Amino acid sequence: MSVVYSKRGLSEMEFWKQLLKIEKLFIIFLLKDFGVKNRSREPEFYIKAYKMSDEDAEEFMKLCDSYGIAKITDNYPEWLIEKFRSDLLEILQRLKRNIRDANDVIPAFESEYYERRYYQDEAIRCCGELYDEFSLIKDILHVDPEKYMRYVGMIEYEATLLKGWRKADNKLLRQIKKKGK
């Protein structure tokens, strides 16, 4: 007999399934260079973007006119894209390693419980680092924030799942302490 979908709880390994989803989507996102494309924009865009004073805006437009600049191309150095890419992949690998290490520890003693807890905490910390890195990338690369919201939501959900896993382990500690008495 099966349980109605709406009545089902999360599987015990939902945090692992979520991590694999994140990993796959992040790698695809990184292959697309964070969705950043070189753009050609009219000088007026920069006047607004940098909130130039009227005097500076007038001078800027004179310079653009005198040099025949109708469009300005934004591009980001490849080293910057590569740095962001390698930082995200490194954090993602640490997250995966910490989850795997925590899951490998089956606490029978209090010291093992705290070892597992350490890895769980580190995994949650990695989620925070991913969030911070994504925020920095969004600010530096000036990409539409809506593109990032999907990934941010996934990171936050993963952190919530990990915190739930960690909280569920409190029961293990109580059982271990009972056995010790």
What are the tens digits of pLDDT across the range 19-56? Answer: 889 889 888 877 776 766 666 778 888 888 888 899 99
State the chain's mean pLDDT as an integer.
Answer: 84
Question: Quick one: 69 and 26 in the same domain?
Answer: no
What are the tens digits of pLDDT across the range 112-123? Answer: 999 999 999 999
Question: Quick one: 52 and 92 in the same domain?
Answer: no
Overall domain count for the chain? 2
Q: Which two tokens stand for residue 20?
A: 């694999």
Residue 15, amino acid: F
Please give the distance of CA 109 from its chain centroid, rounded to a whole number: 34
Which position has the token pair 């740095």? 83
Res 97 pLDDT > 90: yes
What's the DSSP call for residue 33?
G
Question: Quick one: 46 and 100 in the same domain?
Answer: no
Q: Which two tokens stand for residue 160?
A: 């919530």
Question: Quick one: 95 and 52 in the same domain?
Answer: no
Please give the distance of CA 126 from its chain centroid, rounded to a whole number: 9
What's the DSSP call for residue 4?
P
